[in-house]
Structure 1
Amino acid sequence: MKPRPGDSVFFLCLAVGLAAASARGDQPSDPTAAIFTPSDLPKLARGVAFANAGERTVRVWSPSNQSWTLTREGDVVTLRAASSPGDSTPRWQDLGKLAVAAHGTLKIQIAEPPKADAKADNKEASAPPAAPALLVLDSDPEHDPRRLLDFARGRVDSTEPAADRRREQARTNREGNDFHAPATAAAWRDRSAHVRDQMRVALGLWPAPPKTPLNPQVYDVLERDGYTIEKVVLETLPGFTLSGNLYRPSKKPVSGKAPAILCPHGHWEVGRVQEDVQARCIRWAKLGAVVFMYDMVGYNDSKPFTHAFLNDRLRRWGLSLFGLQTWNSIRALDWLSTLPDVDPARIGCTGESGGGTQTFILTALDDRIKVSAPVVMVSDWFQGGCVCENAAGLRHHTDNIEFAALCAPRPMILVGASGDWTAKTMSLAFPAIRGVYSLVGSVDRIEAQVFDFPHNYNQTSRNAVYAFMGRWLLGIEDSASTREGDQTPEKPEAILTFEAKHPAPADRKTPEQLEAALIKTLGDQLEALSPAHDATNWQAAKRFLKTSLSVRVGLETPSPEALAQREVRRVDREGFRIVHSQIGRRANGEAIPVVRLIPTHSNGRLTVIADDQGKSALATPAGEVSELARALLARGQSVVGFDPLFVGESIDPAKPITHRPVVDHFHTYNPSVAADQMQDLATVVSWAGSQPDVREVSLAARGLAGFQALIARPLLGGLARTAVDLNGAEDTDGSGDLPAEIDLPGLFQFGGLRTAAALSAPAPLWIVRPGPKFAKAWPEAAYDLADAKAQFRIATEAPPADRLARWIDEGN
């Protein structure tokens, strides 16, 4: 039977059969018997691979008021739910048998009934239909599926998910992080160092590109009343140019050196040729400063490049338009500070809106900026709406107010407007930043003003900045003398750099060419850090790479005091007890379902098993303990399984959505699915180690969960031994998208799996079935350098469960 017209269909990916069975060393004797939860729904491309011919019984565990039926059309099996009498108490339903051929495949799909309103919102229409909380394929119809619930479910009276607020929660670019100054100056020094590292990593400046020759071209001097204007072209990256204009005072300074000001512009339609932008450059030059006004990427002279430089591949390499634009600002500062008539100890920066973002970002990252004036941008709520102001990971647990506070103790003025998001500058942003200035003893160097205008950098706002920067940068105490008079802006064609006499370079890189060049450069930089290539510098490289990995993964190891725990249910079996709980970081609203199997005679050791299928991986479809868990229990070890976010009990079968709500610039403010799940692993490991009867914790992880575990391993404290079965998973930079579970922004920036394995030294690590391109030379060299060569193993085949259990328990 084919799906009915109007039905929308979602494939339930069941990756089983011989390949998956060998990946899961704990599968029952019939390798095609398997358990699945709604978290399998996004894996649409695969099907069920059957090793042996025969019949498979299909069962679902779902609310009583859902009546499920099964139909088949060729290789497609459709499950369809209909409302039926009864309450929401869950029950098992037997949907019948499927006849399968040896080495055959089937696709199993969930059909959604047609919506009553054909004009329903597209987002609603794309949501997946309700799914069974559990689905079982089993070759033995005599198995009692109720025993499976002892392992897979904490609550058996409901299919509702664990009450984890992360499923419905996503921070947006219209939320700050409620920044307040820490209690002490020492705490601020530590915090500011961490935030700067986070900024550099998130902007793709860790490592930064090599500073290649700028090859400056300066030409076409325009003589004006009290100042000159020159055209400037810099090559900030090979084949990538930055254009701008240099304003100089006509009168040379007595000392021979003048202060200088960088002027990044905001999102004016005409960019740097906007009259308000020109006005401040003219006034500064008349006051005696050298001023460099330059393009945002994709504006004016760089318009062919466009104001966009971001895709999934760039994100995985940690690259973005924001990083590219910040690199332009850094290179502009490099050039400006070396001009013979510029005093490099007196350089300021000011810009509005998006240029205000560049101002406080550059000021935070580069202490050559001595005075800063970000205008109409530093806000307690709106953080920036353009791709040039957002980069994955940038504002995790921080915001623009904290970024601006990194200017301390250098002088800074904030200028806000009553008609935009900076309206509350005086009551919110300014007091928070002033708290930092107070800590470092320079409260006299921070000022703020808000004017009654819409979003702007008009003459009133400029006059406030002239007075402040005039005092701190130019030594002008009379603020009235800095006020702006009549200014005559230039026509755009007079100051644009590329024209008939000076055409744009014929070999300027396209976005695609620049992407390829940056990725190759970063790849070469990482390869140079390999312990296999440069043992002498590996200690420094380790610190560098671990910083990048730490920022990109973003997990914390909670203390026992920070953990919340609630027991849900316990079941006694022969030889061991099953205890279900929900745990999480107390302040984060997490509810991670965990199950602990406790042997009658415990040796004080515990192994956490991380699996793509969560807690259900500890059981067979017959409801018996899986092979690896059984082998560990036999040795006296406790076993813990858990459902990370969007797996098992952590996903809502009524709305089996496998990601947080979609918001603009999501990754700037929120962890990826992979990062959320790695945090859950860290929380579970910490909780396991805090149990009073546990003296040692190890980790066994498989499949995509194994991928995540290996990435997180250098950051996980308190682990004795770690065994990771990758089942062929790789992080090579191919043309296809990585699965959501491993699509971590910045994954390639720190080197991915090879780096994580190397940074795990000297802790005992056994990697099983890596992908064919896994760079094992990295961890082999790192363990050798750590004098721990015997602690690293790599195997192309999965070991038997009892062999793996012995290594976990004894280390041999």
Structure 2
Amino acid sequence: MIRRVLLISCIFSACASHSKAQYQDSDNKYSMSLDSVLRLVEQRYHVTIKYNQEQVAGLTVPYAEWRFRDSAAKTLANVLAPLDMKVNRLSPTRFKLKDYEYFRWSIADGWKELDRIAAQYHDAKSFDLRRDSLRSELYKALQLSPLPAKPNSKPILTPLRIYKGYSVQNIAIEILPGLYINGSIYRPLSIKGKIPVMLSPDGHWDLQRYRPDCQIRCATLARMGIMAYSYDLFAWGESLLQFKSADHQKSLSQTIQTLGAIRILDYVCGLKEVDTSRVGISGGSGGGSHTALMAALDQRIKLSAPVVSISSYFYGGCPCESGMPIFQCGGGTDYVELAAMAAPHPQLIVSDGSDWTAQMPEHDFPYLQKIYSYYEQQQNVENVHLANEFHDYGISKRLALYHFVAKFWHLNLKTIETNGKIDESQVTIEKPNQMYVFGDHGQLLPKDAVMGFDNLVKVFTSAAQRAKLNQFK
């Protein structure tokens, strides 16, 4: 009796095993759960793969073991390709599972693509033709061709705050009906004649434009004799009064940020004290990508300084940098070519050794030098590469900006020096609420302000449609 029970048990066990194994045949595409495949890879190649269960839940790999090759790296590439996933190699035997990153290429692929792009022109005339065509396509890709009408409202300005050598005033500009771009203007206390202006878009760092390093940079530029205009990204900073932070991850954020910068340029270029021949822009990280894009799009910008951002193998990891199809323009472009579109205007590229700008001096910067050489203006493009530094807009990056701007805008650095060295200690760091346009709790936000992303889409779509109708009148 005991033997009979054991036999029956073995039969059921074998059937259960067969049931589990039945997926490993052609009828079921030899499929296995991704979790099982990853554990098998670890065992077979003696590696470790870092991932959590949320990443693999419910995912299966068709023809799983048929995808195995002679190394863990090749096998993982084969296994993960149909799932739009990849791994980052942390060490020779350690990997980390990630979703497929369309915006991050291998260095070799990025360089090869830039070489393909560069082969389309060989002198100033052919590059000018490429630039003109690209610029037109970029506006269309951003859904800003034609531009929506500019609201007739005046900017909202807060009272001036006076500090040592400069003043600060908060500002909100209505860029679409009920949609505001918020920022702070830093001005030199003493203005004689026309002064230059520097747009300072925020980057993807904590505390947004309120953080000390952003205030220090803008205030120091003001003490040099420059009007510095610091402003928020979309659904970032004070823009969160109207939108959720998750809205920054929507593709339209790139369009709204671009339109906001255009309206800021409209405003500053209309000020009687501004020298429109000396209009610049400098931001870091996501603000650096925005810097390159704006310098490519708007010919009123005469100087640019993208910081820790530009690379031929990184297209921006945020929808505000790559959410709209700008990189499909002209048969394919990248941020390095967009930066080249600023030629021959002065341009400073700041790179570091810890992010996607680490190889800037090796391949991308020589390309930029070549483009500037078409105009016999190689001296107008510079690269400050800080191999031992990190992804920030720290003191070394700011010093590079001050020196570059002073050189090309003929400004006296002695106005910000103490004992022959640049001194940022004269800057007063404000509390975030001092930099708000609409009050500590948003109580001053206009009643007709657009609230929520869905309503923004309606407002933008309506404005874009009216712009298209009006262009034919």
Q: TM-score, normalised by structure 1?
A: 0.44
Which one of the candidate residues 306, 320, 327 is aligned to 2:244?
A: 306
* Equivalent residues in 2 for 1:105-124, closer than 5 Å: 112=28, 117=33, 119=35, 121-122=56-57, 124=59
1:291 corresponds to 2:228: yes
Partner of 1:275: 212
Classify 1:197/1:83 alpha carbon distance in 2 versus 1 (closer, same or farther; 3 Å): same
Which one of the candidate residues 501, 504, 517 is aligned to 2:445?
A: 504
Partner of 1:419: 354
Asked if 1 retains the 8 angstrom alpha-carbon contact of 2:173 and 2:180, the reply is yes
Partner of 2:401: 465
Classify 1:214/1:112 alpha carbon distance in 2 versus 1 (closer, same or farther; 3 Å): farther
What SS class does the counterpart of residue 220 from structure 1 fall into?
A: coil
Q: CA offset at residue 119 of structure 1?
A: 4.9
Q: Distance in 2 between matches of 1:192 and 1:484?
A: 40
Q: Distance in 2 between matches of 1:215 and 1:281?
A: 24
- Which residue identity is paired with 1:456? D
Partner of 2:433: 493
Partner of 2:336: 401
Classify 1:201/1:116 alpha carbon distance in 2 versus 1 (closer, same or farther; 3 Å): closer
1:441 corresponds to 2:376: yes
Asked if 2 retains the 8 angstrom alpha-carbon contact of 1:276 and 1:458, the reply is yes
Matched positions, count? 383
Partner of 1:264: 201
* Equivalent residues in 2 for 1:520-599, closer than 5 Å: 520-527=462-469
Between stretches 450-459 and 205-214, larger displacement belongs to 205-214
**RMSD of Structure 2 on Structure 1 (CA):** 3.2
Q: CA offset at residue 523 of structure 1?
A: 2.9
* Equivalent residues in 2 for 1:288-367, closer than 5 Å: 288-304=225-241, 305-309=243-247, 320-367=252-299
Partner of 2:168: 229
Q: Distance in 1 between matches of 2:179 and 2:400?
A: 36
What SS class does the counterpart of residue 362 from structure 2 fall into?
A: helix
Q: CA offset at residue 393 of structure 1?
A: 2.2
Q: Distance in 2 between matches of 1:336 and 1:378?
A: 26
Classify 1:116/1:193 alpha carbon distance in 2 versus 1 (closer, same or farther; 3 Å): closer
Alpha-carbon displacement from aligned partner over 1:589-629 (angstroms, at most 9, x marks no partner): xxxxxxxxxxxxxxxxxxxxxxxxxxxxxxxxxxxxxxxxx
Which one of the candidate residues 198, 205, 219 is aligned to 2:158?
A: 219
Classify 1:246/1:463 alpha carbon distance in 2 versus 1 (closer, same or farther; 3 Å): same
Partner of 1:647: none
Q: CA offset at residue 278 of structure 1?
A: 0.6
What SS class does the counterpart of residue 422 from structure 1 fall into?
A: coil
Q: Distance in 1 between matches of 2:203 and 2:239?
A: 15
1:173 corresponds to 2:108: no
% identity of equivalent residues = 29
Partner of 1:386: 318
| Structure with greater proportional helix content | 2
Q: CA offset at residue 263 of structure 1?
A: 0.5
What SS class does the counterpart of residue 139 from structure 2 fall into?
A: helix
Q: Distance in 2 between matches of 1:493 and 1:477?
A: 31
What SS class does the counterpart of residue 184 from structure 2 fall into?
A: strand
Alpha-carbon displacement from aligned partner over 1:674-702 (angstroms, at most 9, x marks no partner): xxxxxxxxxxxxxxxxxxxxxxxxxxxxx
Classify 1:438/1:122 alpha carbon distance in 2 versus 1 (closer, same or farther; 3 Å): same
Q: Distance in 2 between matches of 1:434 and 1:123?
A: 50
Asked if 2 retains the 8 angstrom alpha-carbon contact of 1:371 and 1:410, the reply is yes
Q: Distance in 1 between matches of 2:223 and 2:24?
A: 77
Partner of 1:205: 144
Asked if 2 retains the 8 angstrom alpha-carbon contact of 1:371 and 1:473, the reply is no
Alpha-carbon displacement from aligned partner over 1:501-529 (angstroms, at most 9, x marks no partner): 96112221121111012212323344556
Partner of 1:36: none
1:516 corresponds to 2:473: no
Q: Distance in 2 between matches of 1:218 and 1:250?
A: 17
Q: CA offset at residue 220 of structure 1?
A: 2.1
Classify 1:347/1:82 alpha carbon distance in 2 versus 1 (closer, same or farther; 3 Å): closer
Alpha-carbon displacement from aligned partner over 1:204-252 (angstroms, at most 9, x marks no partner): 2122211222520112211101111111111111100111111111112
* Equivalent residues in 2 for 1:650-669, closer than 5 Å: none
Q: Distance in 2 between matches of 1:267 and 1:214?
A: 30
Q: Distance in 1 between matches of 2:325 and 2:429?
A: 40
* Equivalent residues in 2 for 1:55-70, closer than 5 Å: none
Q: CA offset at residue 491 of structure 1?
A: 1.2
Q: CA offset at residue 114 of structure 1?
A: 9.6
Classify 1:81/1:297 alpha carbon distance in 2 versus 1 (closer, same or farther; 3 Å): closer
Asked if 2 retains the 8 angstrom alpha-carbon contact of 1:297 and 1:306, the reply is no
What SS class does the counterpart of residue 351 from structure 1 fall into?
A: coil
Classify 1:392/1:222 alpha carbon distance in 2 versus 1 (closer, same or farther; 3 Å): closer
Partner of 2:6: none
- Which residue identity is paired with 2:364? A
Q: TM-score, normalised by structure 2?
A: 0.74
Asked if 1 retains the 8 angstrom alpha-carbon contact of 2:33 and 2:58, the reply is no
Classify 1:482/1:447 alpha carbon distance in 2 versus 1 (closer, same or farther; 3 Å): farther
Q: Distance in 2 between matches of 1:482 and 1:206?
A: 47
Could you tell me which runs of 5 or more consecutive residues in structure 1 were left unpaired when the two chains were aligned: 1-79, 85-110, 130-165, 538-812
Classify 1:119/1:352 alpha carbon distance in 2 versus 1 (closer, same or farther; 3 Å): closer
Alpha-carbon displacement from aligned partner over 1:362-416 (angstroms, at most 9, x marks no partner): 1111111111111001112122101111133211211010000000010001001
Asked if 2 retains the 8 angstrom alpha-carbon contact of 1:349 and 1:372, the reply is yes
- Which residue identity is paired with 1:512? D
Asked if 2 retains the 8 angstrom alpha-carbon contact of 1:228 and 1:250, the reply is yes
Partner of 2:40: none
Which one of the candidate residues 422, 426, 432 is aligned to 2:367?
A: 432
Partner of 1:374: 306
- Which residue identity is paired with 2:202? H
- Which residue identity is paired with 2:445? A
What SS class does the counterpart of residue 352 from structure 1 fall into?
A: coil
- Which residue identity is paired with 2:127? W
Greater Rg by CA: 1
- Which residue identity is paired with 2:447? A
- Which residue identity is paired with 1:203? L
Partner of 1:106: none
What SS class does the counterpart of residue 375 from structure 1 fall into?
A: coil
What SS class does the counterpart of residue 347 from structure 1 fall into?
A: strand
Q: CA offset at residue 443 of structure 1?
A: 1.0
What SS class does the counterpart of residue 239 from structure 2 fall into?
A: helix
What SS class does the counterpart of residue 424 from structure 1 fall into?
A: coil
| Structure with greater proportional strand content | 1
- Which residue identity is paired with 1:301? E
Q: Distance in 2 between matches of 1:238 and 1:245?
A: 21
Q: Distance in 2 between matches of 1:118 and 1:261?
A: 51
Partner of 2:95: none
Classify 1:248/1:527 alpha carbon distance in 2 versus 1 (closer, same or farther; 3 Å): closer
Could you tell me which runs of 5 or more consecutive residues in structure 2 were left unpaired when the two chains were aligned: 1-21, 37-55, 65-80, 85-99
Q: CA offset at residue 496 of structure 1?
A: 1.7
Asked if 1 retains the 8 angstrom alpha-carbon contact of 2:32 and 2:60, the reply is no
What SS class does the counterpart of residue 305 from structure 2 fall into?
A: strand
